[in-house]
Structure 1
Amino acid sequence: MMTDNLIIGGGVYGAAVAFELTGRGAGAHLIEASHIGAGASAGPGKRGVRASGRDPREIPLIRQSRKIWPSLHERLRVAPLFEQSGHVMLIERAEDMAEAEARAALQSTMGIPTEMVYGDAVRDYEPEVCDQVCAAMICPGDGVADHTATTKAYAAAARAAGAVVEEDVSAARLVCQGSLATGVECADGHHYPVTGNLFVLANAGVSALVGGHVDLPVWNNAFQVLLSTPLDDVPIRHLVGHAHRTLSLKSEPGNRIMISGGYQGRWDYERQTGQTVASEIAANVADAVAVFPSLEGIEIEVADAGHLEAVSIDRVPVIDRLPGLDNVYFATGWSGHGWAIAPAIAALLAAWALDGVAPAELAPLAMSRFTA
Structure 2
Amino acid sequence: MHSVEYVVVGGGVVGAATAWNLAGRGAEVTLLEANELASGASGGPGRRGVRVGGRDLRELPLARRAQDLWPELDALLGEPTGYHCNGRLTLYDVEIAGASGWQSLPARVQAQRAAGVACEIADRDRLDEMQPGIADDVRFGLYTPHDGTADHPATTRAFAAAATGLGATVREHTEVAGIEPDEDGSVVLRLKTGDRLRATRGVILAANRAIPRLLGDAVGLTLPLWEKATQITFVSPPPGFALNHQIGHARRSLSVKMTDEGSVMLSGGRPGGWDPATGVGTTDPAVLRGTLADLSATLPALDGAEVLAVDNSRADTSTIDLIPVIDTVPGLDSVFVGTGWSGHGFALAPAVGEAFADWALKGERPETLRPFTFDRIGAGRPS
Q: Is the 8 A contact 1:220 1:309 kept in 2?
A: yes
Q: What residue in structure 2 maps to residue 78 of structure 1?
A: 79
Q: What residue in structure 1 maps to residue 140 of structure 2?
A: 135
Q: Is the 8 A contact 1:352 1:359 kept in 2?
A: yes
Distance 2:294 2:351 in 1: 33
1:33 to 1:80, Cα distance in 2 relative to 1, 3 A: closer
Deviation by residue 1:328-356 (Cα, 9 ceiling, x = unmatched): 00011110122111111101101111111
Correspondence 1:156 to 2:161: yes
Which one of the candidate residues 295, 305, 311 is aligned to 1:298? 305
Correspondence 1:4 to 2:5: yes
Q: What residue in structure 2 maps to residue 237 of structure 1?
A: 244
Distance 2:41 2:81 in 1: 22
Distance 1:180 1:313 in 2: 33
Supply the AA of the counterpart residue of 1:357.
E
Distance 1:175 1:301 in 2: 47
TM-score (normalizing by structure 2): 0.93
Superposition deviation, residue 40 in structure 1: 0.4
* RMSD of aligned Cα (Å): 1.8
Which one of the candidate residues 317, 320, 324 is aligned to 2:327? 320
TM-score (normalizing by structure 1): 0.95
Say which is worse superposed, 263-272 or 243-252, in terms of deviation. Answer: 263-272
Which one of the candidate residues 281, 289, 302 is aligned to 1:282? 289
Say which is worse superposed, 169-178 or 107-116, in terms of deviation. Answer: 169-178
Which one of the candidate residues 358, 372, 378 is aligned to 1:365? 372
Q: What residue in structure 2 maps to residue 250 of structure 1?
A: 257
Which one of the candidate residues 164, 171, 186 is aligned to 2:176? 171
Q: What residue in structure 2 maps to residue 38 of structure 1?
A: 39
1:365 to 1:126, Cα distance in 2 relative to 1, 3 A: same
Supply the AA of the counterpart residue of 2:30.
H
1:129 to 1:187, Cα distance in 2 relative to 1, 3 A: same
1:80 to 1:308, Cα distance in 2 relative to 1, 3 A: closer
Q: Secondary structure at the match of 1:195?
A: strand
Q: What residue in structure 2 maps to residue 346 of structure 1?
A: 353
Distance 1:183 1:228 in 2: 48
Superposition deviation, residue 30 in structure 1: 0.7
Deviation by residue 1:88-144 (Cα, 9 ceiling, x = unmatched): 000111221122332122101211011112222221111111111111011111111
Q: Secondary structure at the match of 1:237?
A: coil
Deviation by residue 1:55-98 (Cα, 9 ceiling, x = unmatched): 01111111111111111111101236321100100011122112
Correspondence 1:109 to 2:110: no
Superposition deviation, residue 190 in structure 1: 3.0
Say which is worse superposed, 117-126 or 155-164, in terms of deviation. Answer: 117-126
Q: What residue in structure 2 maps to residue 90 of structure 1?
A: 91
Distance 1:261 1:352 in 2: 32
Superposition deviation, residue 361 in structure 1: 1.1
Say which is worse superposed, 232-241 or 290-299, in terms of deviation. Answer: 232-241
Supply the AA of the counterpart residue of 1:323.
P
Q: Is the 8 A contact 2:4 2:30 kept in 1?
A: no
Distance 1:142 1:136 in 2: 14
Deviation by residue 1:265-319 (Cα, 9 ceiling, x = unmatched): 1113443211111111111111111111111221222211111101011001110
Q: What residue in structure 1 maps to residue 271 of structure 2?
A: 264
Distance 1:55 1:115 in 2: 18
Q: What residue in structure 1 maps to residue 63 of structure 2?
A: 62
1:92 to 1:235, Cα distance in 2 relative to 1, 3 A: farther
Distance 2:81 2:284 in 1: 35
Q: What residue in structure 2 maps to residue 49 of structure 1?
A: 50
Which one of the candidate residues 228, 231, 235 is aligned to 1:228? 235
Task: Provide the identity percentage.
Answer: 37
Supply the AA of the counterpart residue of 2:78.
R
Q: Is the 8 A contact 1:204 1:309 kept in 2?
A: yes
Distance 2:238 2:22 in 1: 44
Q: Which runs of 5+ in 2 are unaligned?
A: none
Correspondence 1:184 to 2:185: no
Deviation by residue 1:13-71 (Cα, 9 ceiling, x = unmatched): 11011100100000110111110111000111111110000001111111111111111
Distance 2:328 2:85 in 1: 34
Superposition deviation, residue 371 in structure 1: 5.9
Q: What residue in structure 1 maps to residue 225 of structure 2?
A: 218
Q: What residue in structure 2 maps to residue 329 of structure 1?
A: 336
Q: Is the 8 A contact 2:4 2:199 kept in 1?
A: no
Q: Which runs of 5+ in 1 are unaligned?
A: none
Distance 1:270 1:79 in 2: 34
